[in-house]
Structure formats: structure tokens, C-alpha cells
Homo-oligomer: A and B are copies of this chain.
């Protein structure tokens, strides 16, 4: 689960882009992260290793990695985006509209369906992203109590 860096470098080269220490750092941080990081999280962690890293570079890097299909941009809430590496095992997100909790679920079935659709529409899928928004069991229970 460590070295996503060489792989990412290949993706970048394919797009005619360069590998830089800053980009290496962002990929590295994402590959070591447990959860979903936002741009500021990445920026703060990055500064610990490179005190001159700028936030603009973080954003630029994330956008490039997104276009390369290396990174997924998540819309877990409306405040800002979160990011995760797109390689790891296929999973999707259940997002509770009430408490904001994010439950990760396996989505092998979704991934297969996506594959089929991609072929059907002659569309090269870089990233398949399923968001199921709704209400978790806890919140529904609380809801019922106030009725």
C-alpha cells in the first residue's frame, strides 16, 4: 500500500506532465491516509515535510491527479471536496444527510456495472464514484423519538 508514487509518475508522463517533489508528496500523503482528506489536510501534512509547499500547488496537483484518474474527488458534504486514491479496493460511500457520517461499503458490483456501461458508450472511465445519500439507522431512530 506504499509506493503509489512510481505508478502515479507513469500516469503523469502519459499526460505530458512532470513529476515534482510536491506531487510526490501529495501522492505519498494520500497513500498513507486512513480516511478522506481535504485540501487543507493535505497542505498541513505536506508542510511538515516541505515547509515551502503552497496551498495553490496542492489544489493544482489534486486537479491533475484527478484528470489522470489517480485520485477521486469526493463530495461528502457541501463545504469542500475530499480526496482519496482511486486505486485501492473498490468501495463506495453512504453519506448521512443528518449527521454527515460516511460509511464505506464494498462496491464490486457497481464497478462491474460501470465497466459494462463504459464499453457501451465508448467512454474511458477514469473514476467510478457512487454516492448514496440518505439517513443512517441512528439518525432515523432519533428522528422517530421526536415525533
Contacts and interface: CB of A to CB of B under 8 A. Distances in A.
A15 to B, nearest CB: 9
* Copies of this chain held together in the complex: 2
A132 B123 contact: yes
Interface string A80-115: 010000000000101011100001010101100110
A132 B110 contact: no
Contact of A137 (B73, B113, B123, B135): B123
Nearest to A74: B75
Interface residues of A, number: 42
B97 A134 contact: no
Contacts of A125: 94, 132-134
B124 A134 contact: yes
Contacts of A69: 134
